[in-house]
A and B are shown apart, each in its own frame.
Chain A
Amino acid sequence: MPLLRNGELVCNDNWILIEDESDLPKNHSTMLISLTRYLALQHSETNSAVGVLLTPTDDVHLLSPHKRKLKLIGIEFPSFTEGRGYTQARLLRKRIGYQGELRAFGDIREDQVSFMQRNGIDSFHFADQPDKALVQQLVSRFKTGYQPSYQYPG
C-alpha cells in the first residue's frame, strides 16, 4: 500500500495491521493493534507493542501514559468525510505530547493532506497511489492560516 511521508513515497515500510481476531505474532514490534488490545497487553510480560490503530470513537487520552513507548499511532478515517480523526490528532500532539509518527489510514484524499498535517499527522497510508506532485502542490499552496497553533509543517 502506498505510503506518503514528508512528501515522499516510502516503500520500505514494515508496519502491518493485526486485527483483533488474529493471533499476535511473538515479536510484535512493527504491529499495529487496536487500542483495546494494546491496553490489555500492558499487563502481559511479553508485551513489546509500540503501535496502535485508533478508530474514530477511541479516546486518545488513554494513550497518555504510553506516549513515550509508542512509535506509531494510526488514525483510521473510515470515510473521507469523517472528521473525528482531526481532533484525535490534535489532542495527541497538543495535549498528550505524543512525538512519534502519526499516520492517517483509510479513505483519505490528496486534498485533505494539508489539513491533516496541521493537526500533526505526518504520514499518509493511501489506498491507491497518490499523485505525489499534486500533493506537493496542494500542501504548499497556503502559506499562512488564521490558526497559528495549528502549524504548517516545515
Chain B
Amino acid sequence: MYQYTKEDRALVQSRVAEFRDQVERYRDGKLDEDEFKQLRLRNGLYYQRHAYMLRVAIPYGVLSSKQLHTLGRIAEQYDKGYGHFTTRQNIQYNWPELHDVPDLLQDLADVDMHAIQTSGNCIRNTTTDPLAGAVADEIEDPRPWCELIRQWSTLHPEFNWLPRKFKIAVTGSANDRAAVQVHDIGLRLIKNDKGETGFEVLVGGGLGRTPYIGSVINEFLPTADLLTYLNAILRVYNQEGRRDNLYKARIKILVNAKGIDAFKKRVDLEWAQSRFEDDTFTKEHIDQLKSQFPAPKPLATELPEHASEVNSNPLFNQWYQSNTTAHRDSRRRIVFISLKSATAPAGDATAEQMQAIAKLASTFSDSEIRSTHEQNLVLPHVPVGDLYALWKALVKENLATANIGKLSDMIVCPGLDFCSLANAGTITIYDQINARFDNLDYQHELGDISIKISGCMNACGHHHVGDIGILGVEKNGAEWYQLTLGGHAGNKAALGKRLGKAIPQSDVADAIEHILQTFIDQRHEQESFASTFERIGLEPFKENVYATAA
C-alpha cells in the first residue's frame, strides 16, 4: 500500500497542529460557533445528537494492520470501546470529547492517517473497489489513481468552499463494486481500441433527496489528463453550482438543470484553457505510485491440500461459500469479515475486534485490510491453506457471521440514535429484521439480496439502490417507513420503485416477510431477487404486503 513520504507526513502533522490551535481558540472564545463549525467540519468533526462525532478517513478503503490496530486503540482510549465503519469506507467514533480530539488526531497522524475533508463542503475521501488488486476481473488497479486524487484534492486551495460536499469514486474493474454511477464524479478505468488505458468519466450521480444516475461526460479521457479534467469540472461547479438552497447545491442538480450536453460544453470550454494552466502529474509520479501497490508475495507453487475438516464442517463451508471469493491467484482467496452480527449495529466493530483483525491480517493477509461500502471488512490476500485457521480465529471473535451479500448483510445509516437529521430509527429496524430472519440456512436459500436502510431523505444508507430499500419518515411524531424495491448499485445502477404508502415501525418485519414470501413463490429455481423483480414487477409484492397489512 501507499507509503507516506516526508512531505505527506509533514502536511498531516501540520494539520494536527493547526486543528489543535483551532480547538484552543474556540475554547478560549476566540472563534465563534459558526466559524468553528466550518473549520471542524473540514476536519471530520461533527456535533451530533449527543456529542461530538469524529469521522476518520480511510483513503479508498485501504488499511494496514498497524493502522487498524491504532483505530482499535483509539476506540478504547477516546471512545466507548467501538468504532463504526461507514458506507464511504471511513470509520466514525461517536463519543470523543472535544478536548481529546487533537490528541486523537495526533495518534492518527503517527500512523499516517487523518480526518481531513471527511465532512464539510469540500472534496471527500475518494472511494473504490474494496477488492482492488486482488480480483481477476480488473483492467487496472484503481488505487494508485485514487492516491493521486487524494493528494490533488487534499487542502485544495480553490475547492475548499464548494456549494456542497463532493464525492469521487473510481473502479478499475468491469464489474463495478464502487457504485460509480451514484457519485458526483464516477471514474471507470477502460481500454480503447488501441489498447490504451483511460477513464470513462461520469458526472452528476448521487442519492439523497433527489437521486440521479450519473451521466457520461467523457467517454475516454486519457489517464494523463485526469487531474486537469477533474479540476475543470470542479471549477465549473464551484462557479455555477447553486449556493442559495442547500438541497439544490449538489452537482447533480447543476448537471440536470443545464442538461448533460450543455454542461459538457461548459466543462470542455474551461478545460480547453485550464488543461495548460492547472496542476498535472508526471509519468514518474504515477509510476512511483503504482510501484507502491505490488501484488502480494508469491506463494509456494503447490496448491495446498484441503484439510479434511474443510469438507466435513458445514459451518465452515457455509462461511466459505458466502464470505470468501476468488482471488486472481488461485492459491489465495479474498475473505470478507462481516460486521453485521445480530448483536451489534451494522458496521460496528469493538476495539478488541479491530485489534484481532489487525493481527489476523498480519498473519494471513500481507498485513492489509480493506473497508467496504457495505460496511464490512476484507482480508484481500489469504492463502487457501490458511482459510480454516482464519475461520476458527474469526469465530472466536464473533466475526464469522456467514452472511455476506445475504439478507442480514444490511447497509444501515446511524439514524435517530446518533444523527440529528434523522426522522426515524434505523438500528431498531436492523434488530427487528435480524430477530425475524435469524436462520442463516433460510438466508442462504434466498441467495444474494440487499436491504438498505436510511433514517431520512439524505439517504446515507443508500436505500434507493437496495433490492429492498427502507426509508425512515416522520408521521405525526411517530416513526414510519417507506419501502422501495428493485434498486441496484452495480453495473446497471437503478433506483428502487416505491412499494406504496409508508408502514409503521411495528410492521416493518412483517412487510419484509411478505416481500420475501412473494419472491419465494414466484422465483424460478435459483433466480436472484433482482431478476425475479425485473421479471414480475412491483404489483405482486404490493398486493401481498398491503392486502395483509390492511
A interface, CB within 8 angstroms of B: 80-84, 86-87, 90, 94-95, 109, 111, 115, 118-119, 137-138, 141-150
Kindly state the separation between the CA atoms of A115 and B121 in the bound complex, as whole angstroms: 15
- Contact flag A84-B239 (CB < 8 Å), given A138-B18, A141-B17: yes
Contact B279 A83 (CB under 8 A): no
Kindly state the separation between the CA atoms of A48 and B154 in the bound complex, as whole angstroms: 43
Kindly state the separation between the CA atoms of A150 and B14 in the bound complex, as whole angstroms: 18
Contact A87 B279 (CB under 8 A): no
Contact B273 A86 (CB under 8 A): no
Decide yes or no whether B151 CB sits under 8 A from chain A. yes
13 extra interface residue pairs, beta carbon distance < 8 Å, beyond A82-B161, A147-B152, A149-B279: A81-B121, A87-B238, A87-B239, A95-B273, A109-B35, A118-B157, A119-B158, A138-B18, A143-B14, A144-B7, A145-B157, A146-B152, A146-B155
**Least CB separation from A85: chain B residue:** B161
Decide yes or no whether B525 CB sits under 8 A from chain A. no
Decide yes or no whether B393 CB sits under 8 A from chain A. no
Contact A83 B154 (CB under 8 A): no
Kindly state the separation between the CA atoms of A138 and B156 in the bound complex, as whole angstroms: 16
B246 to chain A, nearest CB (A): 11
Kindly state the separation between the CA atoms of A142 and B7 in the bound complex, as whole angstroms: 10
A141 to chain B, nearest CB (A): 5
The contact of B160 among A83, A84, A137, by CB within 8 Å, is: A83
Q: Which DSSP category, helix, strand, loop or mixed, fits chain A's interface? A: loop
Residues in B221-276 with C-beta less than 8 Å from chain A: 235, 238-239, 243, 273-274
Kindly state the separation between the CA atoms of A42 and B157 in the bound complex, as whole angstroms: 33
Decide yes or no whether B111 CB sits under 8 A from chain A. no
Kindly state the separation between the CA atoms of A73 and B106 in the bound complex, as whole angstroms: 40
Residue in B155, B157, B278 whose Cβ sees the most chain A Cβ within 10 Å? B157
Decide yes or no whether B277 CB sits under 8 A from chain A. yes
Contact B35 A80 (CB under 8 A): yes
Chain A residues contacting B522 (CB-CB under 8 Å) are none
B459 to chain A, nearest CB (A): 23
Chain B residues contacting A94 (CB-CB under 8 Å) are 277-278
Decide yes or no whether B163 CB sits under 8 A from chain A. yes
Kindly state the separation between the CA atoms of A111 and B152 in the bound complex, as whole angstroms: 21
Contact B155 A145 (CB under 8 A): yes
Decide yes or no whether B530 CB sits under 8 A from chain A. no
Chain A residues contacting B151 (CB-CB under 8 Å) are 146
Residue in A81, A83, A84 whose Cβ sees the most chain B Cβ within 10 Å? A83
**Least CB separation from A118: chain B residue:** B157
13 A-B contacts (beta carbon < 8 Å): A80-B38, A81-B121, A82-B161, A83-B160, A86-B157, A86-B160, A87-B158, A109-B35, A145-B11, A146-B152, A146-B155, A147-B156, A150-B158
Chain B residues contacting A137 (CB-CB under 8 Å) are 21
Kindly state the separation between the CA atoms of A78 and B239 in the bound complex, as whole angstroms: 15
Decide yes or no whether B494 CB sits under 8 A from chain A. no
Contact A111 B158 (CB under 8 A): no
The 3 closest A-B pairs by CB, nearest first: A83-B161, A118-B157, A146-B151
Kindly state the separation between the CA atoms of A143 and B39 in the bound complex, as whole angstroms: 20
A45 to chain B, nearest CB (A): 34
Kindly state the separation between the CA atoms of A84 and B162 in the bound complex, as whole angstroms: 8
Chain B residues contacting A141 (CB-CB under 8 Å) are 14, 17-18
Decide yes or no whether B78 CB sits under 8 A from chain A. no
The contact of B14 among A90, A109, A142, A148, by CB within 8 Å, is: A142
